[in-house]
Structure 1
Amino acid sequence: MSDVLIRHVEQNDLSALLAIYNHYVETTAVTFDLGPRTLEQRQVWLDSFAREGRWQCFVAVQKGEPVGWACSGKFREKDAYLTTVETSIYLKPGIGGQGLGTRLYATLFEALAKEDVHRAIGCLTIPNESSVALHKKLGFQHVGDFHQVGRKFGRFWDITWYEKAL
């Protein structure tokens, strides 16, 4: 993975990131979107990020192609939550387990350390051993579970919540 560049997300990354995300939408329960997202929908997502501030997105690029991203976004709507962000990370299928998730999240947390952010929150569909292991490795602490709160692929799924002090 030493040939991977990590940088802020750019407009020309959108199509590749959409393909990665839609893979997870269509084949897994790690996201509770039930149908593929469109370019227009993901453009709104992309437009929510900045190079500075609480809501940032970093992309991993290998041989000119985006292969994953990590981002922070709004946790809840009420203003008292502004110093808390929810984080997400997605990697191109088959590229996990090589340290890229760790590098992406580390880059994101380094950027967030310069901002007025107090907590990062991760919400994971379980079971998802690799994501749980990544969050624990990066200092997230388990704070609770919700049972059977999402229905996808004809079954109910649990979610687990993790938090990290920043």
Structure 2
Amino acid sequence: MASERSEVQVRAGAGRDLEALTEIYNHYVRETAITFDTAIFTPEERRPWLLSHPEDGPHRLMVATDTASQEILGYATSSPYRPKPAYATSVETSVYVAPDSRRGGTPGRRGVGTLLYDALFGALAGEDVHRAYAGIAQPNEASTRLHARFGFRYVGTYREAGRKFGRYWDVAWYEKGL
């Protein structure tokens, strides 16, 4: 059992993380409208996603682990915003925290999302990235607060942009200058 004083380390994601990262993501696929994927993934199906986030460059994968147990607590990514060349200096960012590691979850593991974004934006500081964007399926107060804490500002909402669990969901869009 993790101590209430357990430390969290954030590092670049690696191949050895694939199974745990897939498990975290699949939780959100199955249980929430936070992602609009509707079918769970195998680790092999997620491998191209992992490989699209190298240790350098504008498209990063940062992983938070418990230093004692090495359990993966969550991850943050910066991914291509859109495929057209003129968007190359823009990224879309995401954070996924293991269900038992979210704020209000296991004692001693508060602020995992904040630690992940600190590391992600620190890693992006030396890259040719001009803007970060985040789409947040609504409602999601925790994600909205996290993004506001990092200087994202609201730019608009796509109404009923996705259908999951038999209903339509709005997506609020936020941007941050880098």
Query: What's the offset of the Cα at 1:2?
Result: 5.4
Query: What's the offset of the Cα at 1:94?
Result: 2.6
SS in 1 for 2:62: strand
2:102 aligned with 1:110, yes or no?
no
Which residue in the other structure is 1:84 paired with? 90
Structure 2: distance between partners of 1:142 and 1:29: 20
Unaligned 5+ runs, structure 1: none
Runs of 4+ in 1 over 6 A off after TM superposition: none
| 1:19-53 CA distance string (max 9 Å, x none) | 11000000000000011012122101000011110
SS in 1 for 2:36: coil
The alignment's TM-score, normalised by the length of structure 2, stands at 0.91
- 1:7-156 matched pairs, under 5 angstroms: 7-62=11-66, 63-97=69-103, 98-156=110-168
Structure 2: distance between partners of 1:155 and 1:143: 24
Matched length: 166
In structure 1, give the amino acid aligned to 2:20: A
| 1:91-150 CA distance string (max 9 Å, x none) | 000312211111100100011011000000001100000000000011000000011110
Unaligned 5+ runs, structure 2: 104-109
SS in 1 for 2:157: strand
* Range moving further from structure 2, 27-36 or 38-47: 38-47
Structure 1: distance between partners of 2:15 and 2:177: 30
Structure 1: distance between partners of 2:60 and 2:6: 23
Structure 2: distance between partners of 1:131 and 1:27: 16
CA RMSD of aligned residues (A): 1.0
The alignment's TM-score, normalised by the length of structure 1, stands at 0.97
